[in-house]
Amino acid sequence: METKKSKKSTKDSNGDGCWLLSGSMPLAFGCIAVFALLVRVIVSLNSYSGAGDAPKYGDYEAQRHWMEITLNTPAKKWYQNSTVNDLTYWGLDYPPLTAYQSYAHALFLHYFHPDSVALFTSRGHESPKGKLLMRWTVLSSDVLIFFAAAIYFVIVYYANRGKNKQQHMTWHLALILLGPCLILIDHGHFQYNCISLGLTIGAVAAILSKNELVACVLFSLALNHKQMSAYFAPAFFSHLFGKCLRHRNPLLRVLQLGLAVVGTFILIWWPYLYSVDTVKEVLSRLAPFERGIYEDYVANFWCTTSVLIKWKRLFPTPSLRLFSLSATLLGVLPSMVQQIKAPSDLGFLYALLNSSLSFYLFSFQVHEKSILLPLLPATLLALEEPLLFRWLTYFALLSMFPLLCRDRLILPYVVLLILFVLIYYIPGIRSTKKGESSPTGLKKLVMILVLLCSFFLHIVYVTLRPPQKYPFLFEAVIMLLSCSQFVTIAVYSNLKQWMLESSIWMEKEKKVQ
Amino acid sequence: MEEFAWFAGIATCVKLLLIPSYRSTDFEVHRNWLAITSSLPLSNWYSDETSPWTLDYPPLFSYFEKLLSIFAHLVDPKIVDLQKGLNYESDSVIYFQRISVIVSDLCLFYGVYRLSKTLEIKKRRILWILIIWSPSLIIVDHIHFQYNGFLLGILLISLSFLEEGKDLIGGFFFAVLLCFKHLFAVAAPVYFVYLLRHYCKGGFAKSIGRFVMMGIAVGMVFAIAFGPFLYTGQIQQVLHRMFPFGRGLCHAYWAPNFWVFYIILDKGLAFLLAKFGFNIQTPAASFTGGLVGDSSPFAVLPRVTPLATMLLVLLALSPCLFKAWRDPRPRMITRWVAYAYTCGFLFGWHVHEKASLHFMIPLAIVAIQSVEDAKHYFLLSIVSCYSLFPLLFEAKEYPIRVLLLLLHSLLLLSVFTSQFGKSSSKAVGEPLHRGKSDGKTLKGRKPSSHEMNSGTGFVVGWVSMIYLLGLLAIEVWGQFLQPYLLGSERLPFLPLMLMSIYCGIGMVYSWLWQLKWIIKC
């Protein structure tokens, strides 16, 4: 019940073509989308984060609680501590667009199942019907925003490619829509990443199709849904800025784009703009600097190096804040410079990857789930960087394994990983993929070793109990392994971005010859 | 082979993901059978009544459960405990049973693989999509819970041998199938006539010799299956369990077959006659309740007995038997067998809606032969999959069944249009041309399909279109409009009844269509 095939194959009739495309493109896209949705629906049958885990529960309860608050209090009070809105119990800590989305979904839940969003009485509400409705809100957001954006992106990205275009389009779309990480987090663990990531994809596609104003609006929306979207901001900024500089009238262009951004922000923040205090109030909810530099076992630089250097003990939080800020900026700088110097579509995608990886590795208060953000540009680059894409997907999954184990999502975890590999190797497309050179020699050996290690780790994590002295030993090992891979990828893709110009030149020269 | 593994792999992934989904009581039925075969001696298998879900499949299936129970015992001894295991619902039993279905589907995979070996690559893919990715199989086996996949696999293996002309092995596998699930016996007359005419031919001595050979092969299977029960004196009990004629004409949910119209006609006549002043007594018995007592469930029309349904099935089968007698061709056997199961479904006694699988799967093999077949299959598979919807009645499975059907229709549309071309006027040249070039590069069964290609392309005609839209309308009415307009109390049976009637129309159409083909060829 899935799909892929190309018109090519009917001409070649060597049976090598991708079968999905044998009909027409819209049909192939329809098949992929319906299959992706089916997989999501099936995954959503599983349990969610914090199910039955009183008194705090998990992300599911957080989202439900926000619906309860937004439905029962006026917009101005959403971010204020009050007798009805206890901010210590899952207070709203995302920007206003998330709040509006919660409100819209709350209306939906209220219509069908008022108990699940009633003020006070619904705290910790868990019922099959409530779960079902909540799941449907994620599913519908996913289809309306993420699916639409992915299709938009694929169409734009392949608009000017002749050879094997349709095969690659369907293949790429399937990989975007069936990425295991996003499905597990949104439809298993329970979150709405599909909205902000979908808006980001939309913005990227808009940039690729030269609609920069649309891109600004979409990315501002993404920022206002989850502040984590700021991981991409340096790339967007530098790419657009670089382009503005090459515009006939740079100042006017900057002004136009700036207006689009500010206008979107004003619209979204309207209820809070009546005084500076309220704005500050909201902002302080969004940036929880009082928390530590890292939590749990996230595979970023600070957490990994804390095995050797006890950052939290050695330095006070303000200086750590400064460290992380400067480290992040340093990490982002090279790709920003490159994009300002020579903005290009491909370079922009690499810049997105580099800046989000830098944020993931070095910024303050990163969650395991934030690996979804670097994974997004890597997914968009699947055709150019097939190996990097697979590698990052796999280790992103691994880095979330402890989290997903807690949510009892091991079965979907394993199956979605297998499904991902199968989709990647959809018959008939492999041979035509570009830039696919299998690694050889030492590199191959190391990769195989790392892979074996990680398989072994999965099994050990599920079956063995850690020694009492080090209860988080396995989490730490998973974190070390994932982090080392993320750093390698970050270095590689930074280099790659800088070498882009020269390689483009070389290709052009080849063509001339 | 690699590509086949890919298709099978995707299907297996979906099946694995479905492990936590809704399970019907059939799950507990099969668990109980594991317990019976594991903890009781063979002589008590068919007489045990610890649980209401008694063993009522033929012996080979019990052996199969016995085999499974050995592993089940290793996984978790409680699964096979006759008392403590009742309604056991831990993860261990769910994973064990679900995975046993998934693993037994290897038999289905093998059957499909065997059948598709000789086809050209494009047709092969279509066949895989139609069978391996069949939404009906997923709904019945991997959500509702049953073992149809592997039984149908045996049927496919048997058919593939027959198509190759290896009648003895084909007959043998059919005998095996009958000893797994006797509901497949509807096709036995077709098999009998076909094997008699196709296999037992040649001179008098040779044909007698072959007849004896076949008798020995089939007899052996039955001896192995029923022998031990004969030995322990249980055979009557076994047969009694296998043929429970105490059940009613229709299953709880009316399968969309001929009897639906019969019942409706009866109701209508009773209503009309009562209007005209006749004294019509309301029947006390119900159609689903069975032959309890002597009262007939029908008000006007004569009551239907199991014997009558059997005769009707045979009558419907007779044109096909006649054809098989006159001209037993291996190419036609799949069509005949599918037709036999269609007749069984339409006119049989106490038919389950799940029985539509018995003809949908063989028809998939027929569907790739010509554009007419493809059109027919497209319509029928949607109808039959839709008629399985009531099996999954919980809200959380609702999107799954709808999406499965939607995906299936999109895939069918996609692969059929590419295989048979799109429209008649403009594209005739193209598919023709394509057909020729294919014929050169691949020595498949190309010429036949190439001839048929030259007619019209694959388009869903407007009559089918209107019919399918009607299906949609019924779904919308049953799911959304009726609860909204009438509330949940009034006419609760109406949506299901509409579905039965409407799907029944499609089924009867398909039966007539198949009959026409069989007479024509």
DSSP one-letter string for B341-382: HHHHHHH-SSB-GGGGHHHHHHHHHHHTT-HHHHHHHHHHHH
Lowest mean pLDDT among A5-14, A346-355, B79-88, B105-114: A5-14
pLDDT tens readout for residues B370-420: 888 999 999 999 999 999 998 888 888 899 999 999 999 999 988 888 888
Task: Report residue A209: phi and psi, to 5°.
Answer: -95, 15
Q: What percent of chain B has pLDDT over 70?
A: 89
* Mean pLDDT (whole number) for B105-109: 95
Average pLDDT value for chain B: 85
Residue B288 pLDDT level (bands cut at 50, 70, 90): low
CB B74: neighbour CB atoms within 10 A? 11
Enumerate the β-bridge partners of residue A366: A294
C-alpha–C-alpha distance, residues A481 and A463, integer Å: 19
Nearest CA in chain A to B433: A11
Taking the Cβ of residue B408 and every Cβ of chain A, the question of whether any pair is shorter than 8 Å is answered with: yes
Q: Closest Cα of chain A to B4: distance in Å? A: 9
Q: Which domain range does residue A202 map to?
A: 192-287
B475 pLDDT exceeds 80?
yes
Nearest CA in chain B to A128: B396
> What are the chain A neighbours of B414 within 8 Å (beta carbons)?
3, 5, 20, 22-24, 27-28, 31
B444 pLDDT exceeds 80?
no
Q: What pLDDT shows up at residue A4?
A: 39
Which of A7, A14, A38, A136 has the most B C-beta neighbours within 10 Å, making it the best mutation to test the interface with B? A38
Q: What pLDDT shows up at residue B118?
A: 86
Taking the Cβ of residue B413 and every Cβ of chain A, the question of whether any pair is shorter than 8 Å is answered with: yes
Residue A86 pLDDT level (bands cut at 50, 70, 90): confident
Q: Domain for residue A245, yes or no?
A: yes
C-alpha–C-alpha distance, residues A374 and A234, integer Å: 13
Nearest CA in chain B to A133: B396
Q: Domain for residue A34, yes or no?
A: no
Higher pLDDT, A490 or A16: A490
Q: What pLDDT shows up at residue A468?
A: 87
C-alpha–C-alpha distance, residues B58 and B183, integer Å: 10
Q: What percent of chain A has pLDDT over 70?
A: 91
Q: What pLDDT shows up at residue B218?
A: 93
C-alpha–C-alpha distance, residues B521 and B517, integer Å: 6
Q: What pLDDT shows up at residue A99?
A: 95
Q: What pLDDT shows up at residue B311?
A: 93
Lowest mean pLDDT among A206-220, B37-51, B153-167: B37-51
CB B9: neighbour CB atoms within 10 A? 15
A9 pLDDT exceeds 50?
no
C-alpha–C-alpha distance, residues B435 and B312, integer Å: 42
Fill in the DSSP letter of residue B304. P
Number of domains present in the structure of chain A: 1
Residue B422 pLDDT level (bands cut at 50, 70, 90): low
Cis, peptide link before residue A334, omega less than 30° from 0: no
Taking the Cβ of residue B282 and every Cβ of chain A, the question of whether any pair is shorter than 8 Å is answered with: no
A275 pLDDT exceeds 50?
yes
Q: Domain for residue A479, yes or no?
A: no
Q: Domain for residue A223, yes or no?
A: yes
B453 pLDDT exceeds 70?
no
Q: What pLDDT shows up at residue A264?
A: 96
Average pLDDT value for chain A: 87
B320 pLDDT exceeds 50?
yes
Residues 6 or more apart whose Cβ sits within 8 Å of residue B399: A37, A41, A136, A139
pTM (two decimals): 0.90
Within B368-478, residue ranges assigned H as helices are 371-387, 398-420, 424-427, 429-441, 446-453, 462-476
A13 pLDDT exceeds 80?
no
pLDDT tens readout for residues B354-372: 899 999 999 999 998 888 8
Q: What pLDDT shows up at residue A2?
A: 37
Which residue in B121, B122, B403 is closest to A38 by CB distance?
A: B403
Yes or no, beta carbons of A422 and B6 under 8 Å apart: yes
Yes or no, beta carbons of B17 and A13 under 8 Å apart: no
pLDDT tens readout for residues A142-182: 999 999 999 999 999 998 777 778 888 889 999 999 999 99
CB A332 within 8 A of CB A361: no
Higher pLDDT, B439 or A138: A138
**Taking CB atoms and an 8 Å cut-off, how many pairs form between chains A and B?**
114
Fill in the amino acid letter for B355: A
Q: What pLDDT shows up at residue A289?
A: 72
pLDDT tens readout for residues B294-304: 456 777 788 88
Taking the Cβ of residue B1 and every Cβ of chain A, the question of whether any pair is shorter than 8 Å is answered with: no
| Residues within 8 A of A (CB atoms), B 425-464 only | 434, 437-438, 441-442
* Mean pLDDT (whole number) for A109-135: 91
Q: What pLDDT shows up at residue A433?
A: 52
Lowest mean pLDDT among A412-426, B364-378, B435-449, B492-506: B435-449
Interface residues from chain A to B (CB-CB < 8 Å):
1-3, 5, 10, 13-15, 19-20, 22-24, 27-28, 30-31, 34-35, 37-39, 41-43, 45-46, 128-129, 132, 136, 139, 411-412, 415-416, 418-419, 422, 425-427
A198 pLDDT exceeds 80?
yes
Q: What pLDDT shows up at residue A507?
A: 57
Within B105-201, residue ranges assigned H as helices are 106-116, 121-132, 135-137, 148-164, 167-180, 188-198
DSSP A201-243: HHHHHHHHTT-HHHHHHHHHHHHHH-GGGGGGHHHHHHHHHHH
Tokens in use for B382? Answer: 């949607």
Q: What pLDDT shows up at residue A466?
A: 86
Q: Domain for residue A298, yes or no?
A: no
pLDDT tens readout for residues A125-151: 999 999 999 999 999 999 999 999 999
B439 pLDDT exceeds 80?
no
State whether the Cα torsion B368-B374-B378-B380 is positive or negative.
Answer: negative
Q: Which of A174, A63, A89, A56 is nearest to A425 (CA)?
A: A174
pLDDT tens readout for residues B200-213: 887 888 889 999 99
Q: Domain for residue A255, yes or no?
A: yes
CB B18 within 8 A of CB B142: yes
> What are the chain B neighbours of A22 within 8 Å (beta carbons)?
122, 414-415, 417-419
* Mean pLDDT (whole number) for A84-95: 88
Q: What pLDDT shows up at residue A10?
A: 32
C-alpha–C-alpha distance, residues B160 and B334, integer Å: 9
Task: Report the complex ipTM.
Answer: 0.89
Q: Tokens 């199938």 identify what position?
A: B177
Q: What pLDDT shows up at residue A52?
A: 84
Q: Domain for residue A264, yes or no?
A: yes
pLDDT tens readout for residues B226-283: 999 989 888 888 888 888 766 777 776 678 888 889 888 888 888 888 888 777 666 6
Q: What pLDDT shows up at residue B437?
A: 37
C-alpha–C-alpha distance, residues A5 and A17, integer Å: 6
pLDDT tens readout for residues A417-452: 999 999 998 887 655 455 556 677 788 899 999 999
Q: What pLDDT shows up at residue B467?
A: 92
Q: Domain for residue A228, yes or no?
A: yes
* Mean pLDDT (whole number) for A43-70: 90
> What are the chain B neighbours of A3 within 8 Å (beta carbons)?
410-411, 414
Higher pLDDT, A74 or B493: A74
Which residue in A1, A10, A15 is closest to B434 by CB distance?
A: A10
Which of B143, B396, B432 has the most A C-beta neighbours within 10 Å, making it the best mutation to test the interface with A? B396
Q: What pLDDT shows up at residue B224?
A: 93
* Mean pLDDT (whole number) for A115-126: 89
